Amino acid sequence: MSTRTVLHEADIARALTRIAHEILESNRGADGLVILGIPTRGITLAERIGALIEEFSERSVPVGELDVTMYRDDLSQNPTRSPQRTDIPAGGIDGKVVILVDDVLFSGRTIRAALDALQDIGRPAAVRLATLIDRGHRELPIRPDFVGKNLPSARDERVNVRLAGIDDIEEVTIGS
């Protein structure tokens, strides 16, 4: 089993800094933004991006969590998946620019589920996608607006994102 590290802690920090700047530039500031992380590691990434946006713009940005479990189309194949918490910031998402944050974009099915979940919560002005890793192999016409690293991979390879606070190390690895 061969595994190699493609991002170290400093690389992840740089990628998140770049994503935060790109979000601010694309939105022309922090006004009207809501950041929602998809469990598990997307929540940690969303919190970090929110903190960076606040640091750069000196404006607080609401950060929340969006569980997509019950909106997934693969529950019959993975019935042990247990629902996580959804925590939408107090101001809601209506009329806001929602930035969905996930750790790895692969087939696009998780993001499709997230879009369905958002539809039940409110009506954002726009939805944008930020992902630390885009590994390709899309099954749906979904692409990220903000990417930390494009990581071409074989379909059978595994990309692992490990983040401090959840895991014992901060890195992104790829292996078979």
Above 70 in pLDDT, residue 127? Answer: yes
| Short-list 123, 100, 112, 107, CA closest to 46 | 100
Domain ranges of the chain: 3-72+84-175
Query: What pLDDT score does 99 carry?
Result: 98
- Angle at the Cα of 168 from the Cα atoms of 163 and 172, rounded to 5 degrees: 40
| Multiple choice CATH, 3-72+84-175, 3.40.50.2020, 3.40.220.10, 3.40.640.10, 3.30.1390.20 | 3.40.50.2020
Given a contact cutoff of 8 angstroms between Cβ atoms, the answer to whether 84 and 44 are in contact is no
**Type and span of the H or E element at 12:** helix 9-27
What's this model's pTM, rounded to 2 decimal places? 0.94
User: What's the burial of 55, exposed, middle or buried (CB within 10 Å: 0-12/13-18/19+)?
Assistant: exposed
Query: What pLDDT score does 85 carry?
Result: 84
Above 80 in pLDDT, residue 75? Answer: no
In tens, the pLDDT along 76-121 reads: 676 666 788 899 999 999 999 999 999 999 999 999 999 999 999 9
